[in-house]
Amino acid sequence: MTSHIANYLYLDGTVVQEEVIGVGGAGIVVNREGYALKIPLISKVFEIDGVPVDDRILNADAGDSYDELAVAIKSFRHEKAIYKRLGDHPGIIPCYNVDSEDPSIQMPLMVGDLRKYLVDVRPTRARQLSWLLQLARIMAYAHSKRILICDFRLDNIVYDDMMNLRLIDFSESSLMDPDWDLDRCDRYGYSILTDIGQFGAVMFEIITGQHCRFDIYQDWTGPGDATTWPRRETLPSTSEVWLGSIIEKCWTEGVLSADDLERELKKVNVC
C-alpha cells in the first residue's frame, strides 16, 4: 500500500504550525491567539513511500490547469460577502474581519460542533426542541436575507458554553439578489425547500443519533445532469421517531418556509 505524508499549507507555501481545530471543504480552521481563524484549505503531499516530491503549490503560473490559490481566494470573498449580508445575528457566528481583503475568516472560539457532541451525549427532548426552534429561526433569518444555506448539517452548527447554537461555514451557500423570488432555485438546484429538506435530516440526527443525509446530488453523475429531489426510499423511516411527522413534512415539501417550520415546532409539547 502506498503511504503519503501531507501537510496543510499557508498561502506562502509554508507548513501550517498552528493547532488545526476544524477541516471543511474549502478551508481549515486554526486556533490563532484565542480566535478561530479559517484559512484556505491547501494541502500538499511531501513524500510518497519515503520519496520526497516537489513541494510547489498548484497555480496557473506553474503550468497547472487548476489554479488552487485563485479558487481559494474567490471562495473566501464569496463567504465574506454572505457574512456581510447576514450582519449581526445571535444565531450566526460573527466574522470579525469581514471588511478585510485577506482570504481568512476570524471568528470567536466555540466549544464544539453538534456532530461531535452527539456522539457521546443524548440530549433531553426539551433540549432538542430548544435547539430545533433556534435553528428554524436562524434559517428563516438567512432566507429573509436572500441566502440559501445549501449545506445545513451538524458539522456546521456550533455551540457555546451555554449550549446556544450558531451556524458557521457559508462557503457552499448561495447569495441571491436582494429582490430574488423565494420560490425559485439557484443555478445548482438549491432552494428554500432543499434547505428545509436538509433541516429534516438534521432533525432526524439530533433526535435519533443516527446518520441521515438529504442529498439532491444523489442521482447526479456529471456536468449537465439536473439535481433531483431525493427519492423517499433513500431517507430513513420516521414512523417511530419523535417529531417524525414534522421531519416527514420537511422531506415531502409539506413545509414551505422556515417560518412555517418554526410554527410547527412551537406546537410541540414536551412531556
Instruction: Specify the pLDDT at position 168.
Output: 96
Residue 15 CA: distances (Å) to CA of 8, 82, 156, 189? 6, 29, 26, 37
Structural domains in the chain, sorted by start = 4-108 (3.30.200), 112-266 (1.10.510.10)
pLDDT at 65: 45
Counting residues of the chain whose pLDDT is more than 90, the rounded percentage is 75
How confident is the prediction along the chain (271 residues), in pLDDT tens digits per residue? 444 445 888 888 889 999 999 888 788 999 999 999 999 988 776 555 455 555 444 444 544 445 677 888 889 999 999 999 999 999 999 999 999 999 999 999 999 999 999 999 999 999 999 999 999 999 999 999 999 999 999 999 999 999 999 999 999 999 999 999 999 999 999 999 999 999 999 999 999 999 999 999 988 877 777 789 999 999 999 999 999 999 999 999 999 999 999 999 999 998 6
Query: Could you read off the pLDDT of 35-62 as tens digits, one per residue?
Result: 999 999 887 765 554 555 554 444 445 4
Tell whether pTM > 0.75.
Answer: yes
